[in-house]
Structure 1
Amino acid sequence: MKHLIVIAGIVCLPVSQAGVLEYGASLDQSVWKLVSDSPIECRLEHVIPGWGKGAFVSHAGKNVNMGFELKPLRPQARIQTVSVRSLPPSWHPGIAESGISKVRFYKQFDGYVSGQAAWTMLDELEGGYTPSFLFRDWYHQNQPVTVSISSVGFRTTYQNFLSCMQGLLPYSFDDIAFTILNYEKNSEDLTPYSQRRLAMIAAYLKADPQLDLVLVDGYTDSMGPSWPNQLLSDKRAKSVKKFFTDLGVDEKRVKTEGHGEKQHVATNDTERGRETNRRVVISMQRWTPPTLADAGKTASR
């Protein structure tokens, strides 16, 4: 016996019934592509003819993160709750569809499935099932709509996606966007910890050509004459830039400035304070699009 699926007080008819708009790739249309394969992002994309596209995405970071983005050709016209279901393959007649999750679609934002529900979608696709989104379409007078993700051609590209995820950097942009490097006394040599941080930043810069600007500011303690300290701070900043450019980073993306004894952050009366003042500060800037967290904040106002 078939049952109606209720979504936030709206009744959606089963997909087998008439009057439901269905979007999904046919056997000859179903294509999966690994469109991003880098140490900072893995993106496995699938086109949904006439509707838009979907993509499994994972980013560099300390924590496991993977989600599914559903990008329509037309923006979401309203906030609504959407049912995510798994439909059985045609060669397994008699198997009932199952629920995966219920997610929130925000106005003007892409749909998003995160956490365990996104991994469940991957498992269902690998098993030949069809994850589907059921909701009411504002653009079609609130008619019931099913947007399906085809499993045809999924498995081979999925293995490449998993391999990409294994190569993601274990830190994110936020982890290194502002970094302070410290130096040995009267030296151009970084402390061992700062050497490791610099290597992390360089690896990220190489992998992300979209970073807008890298600012490198050099500082010294107040020991010795001020002019040699000014030259030393400038030299330290430029040595960091050279480290980046030697690894292939475009020199136009890196700006340096030496500040000498200016802008101390600790006392110069102690060795610990002077060590803190001998530093290079690296700050990186990038434009980031609005996130679903931003959407939730907007919706709650």
Structure 2
Amino acid sequence: MTNRLLTFGAMLSVTALLTMPANGMMRSYSASMQESSWSLVKNSPTACVLEHQIPRFGKVNFSSVANKNINLDFAMNMLQKPAKYTEVELRSMPPKWRSNSPSSHIANLAYYKQFDGEVLDDQAWLMLNELEKGMSPTFFYRDWYNSNDSVAVGVSAVNFADQHMAFMDCVSKLLPYSFEDISFTTLNYKKNTQILDRRSQEKLKMIRDYLKFEPEMELVLVDSYTDSYGGRYKNSQISKQRANDIKRMLEDSGIAGNKIVVTGHGEKRHIASNESIQGRNENRRVVITMNRGY
């Protein structure tokens, strides 16, 4: 997915933003000490989401998802989407009671018309670190409808610490693979058995572990195939049995049965030669294709 909040090359200083014509004004959005709250709204091995409300502006959140790579995304769910392309500076600002502390530059960014803002990866981690230090990451930009006015959107560190600890604990327990890693999976069987080989048993465990927490699927296809040894009718029955065994496992993991379509192909659609042991091992397979619909 194309990032909707990207770094741009030209340097944009907060000084320039704050240098307004005499009739210009600064609109500020930030939760007060009494209003500021943070909530861990999702806490599972597949996703962690830490949310913060900014009065009159919308919601913002940090999120990290199950993946083989460490990841962090900061998303802005704005009540009013950007009216046009907008250059933005993100700075770490001290709270009012530490007004003598210096501010620091985090990133130059851009909002795109009608899209919520995002800050990704290293810059999102920088924001999280600044909040941990009690600072307020703040977005500065020109008003979309009055170029004389500027806007500041601050993310408050008040009441952040405890929920931040819970969020980082959640991140430490994320599964080390994503849905994309299991959405198309091939399982292989030992000869003349309904027993998966060791590697396929590990793959199946990964699928089951993920589905414990996110079983909602739009469609799941289970296609079963055999090698060409043993007779066509027997192999057709074996492939159907294997497909239905996998379907029952997926149902036990929480997927609705009416979302699962099984097909036993028997000896059709070989992907390797049946003249070798390795080729026959590859042909004895069940292919699971999962689609979440988004």
Query: Structure 1 length normalisation: TM-score?
Result: 0.87
Matched, 1:146 2:146: no
- Between the aligned partners of 1:198 and 1:47, the Cα distance in structure 2 is 40
Residue in 2 aligned with 1:172?
178
Aligned pairs for 1:275-290 (under 5 A) are: 275-288=281-294
Aligned pairs for 1:132-281 (under 5 A) are: 132-140=138-146, 143-281=149-287
Q: Cα gap change, 1:269/1:119 in structure 2, threshold over 3 Å: closer, same or farther?
A: same
**Structure 2 residue aligned with 1:72, among 78, 98, 111?**
78
- Between the aligned partners of 2:148 and 2:181, the Cα distance in structure 1 is 43
Between 1:58-67 and 1:259-268, the stretch displaced more is: 259-268
Residues 217-274 of structure 1: per-residue CA shift (max 9 Å, x gap) = 1111111221111111011011112222233433333321111111111112222111
**Structure 2 residue aligned with 1:45, among 45, 51, 54?**
51
Q: Cα gap change, 1:278/1:105 in structure 2, threshold over 3 Å: closer, same or farther?
A: same
- Between the aligned partners of 2:292 and 2:149, the Cα distance in structure 1 is 40
Q: How far is the alpha carbon of 1:8 from its aligned partner?
A: 8.6
Q: Cα gap change, 1:248/1:209 in structure 2, threshold over 3 Å: closer, same or farther?
A: closer
Residue in 2 aligned with 1:7?
12
In the alignment, structure 1 segments of 5+ residues that lack a partner are: 1-5, 289-301
- Between the aligned partners of 1:184 and 1:242, the Cα distance in structure 2 is 20
Q: How far is the alpha carbon of 1:96 from its aligned partner?
A: 2.0
Between 1:243-252 and 1:144-153, the stretch displaced more is: 243-252
Query: Structure 2 length normalisation: TM-score?
Result: 0.89
The amino acid that maps onto 1:217 is D
Residue in 2 aligned with 1:116?
122
- Between the aligned partners of 1:285 and 1:43, the Cα distance in structure 2 is 23
In the alignment, structure 2 segments of 5+ residues that lack a partner are: 1-10
SS at match of 1:158: helix
SS at match of 2:240: helix
SS at match of 1:43: strand
Q: How far is the alpha carbon of 1:140 from its aligned partner?
A: 4.8
Matched, 1:90 2:103: no
The amino acid that maps onto 2:33 is L
SS at match of 2:230: coil
Q: How far is the alpha carbon of 1:9 from its aligned partner?
A: 11
CA RMSD, 1 decimal: 2.1
- Contact (CA 8 Å) 2:223, 2:265: kept in 1 or not? yes
- Contact (CA 8 Å) 1:43, 1:57: kept in 2 or not? yes
- Contact (CA 8 Å) 1:206, 1:249: kept in 2 or not? no
Instruction: Give the number of equivalent residue pairs.
Output: 282
Q: Cα gap change, 1:14/1:185 in structure 2, threshold over 3 Å: closer, same or farther?
A: farther
Q: How far is the alpha carbon of 1:111 from its aligned partner?
A: 1.0
Q: How far is the alpha carbon of 1:107 from its aligned partner?
A: 2.4
Q: How far is the alpha carbon of 1:91 from its aligned partner?
A: 2.1
Q: Cα gap change, 1:139/1:47 in structure 2, threshold over 3 Å: closer, same or farther?
A: farther
- Between the aligned partners of 1:140 and 1:153, the Cα distance in structure 2 is 34
Residues 8-45 of structure 1: per-residue CA shift (max 9 Å, x gap) = 99931179x97111111112211111111111111101
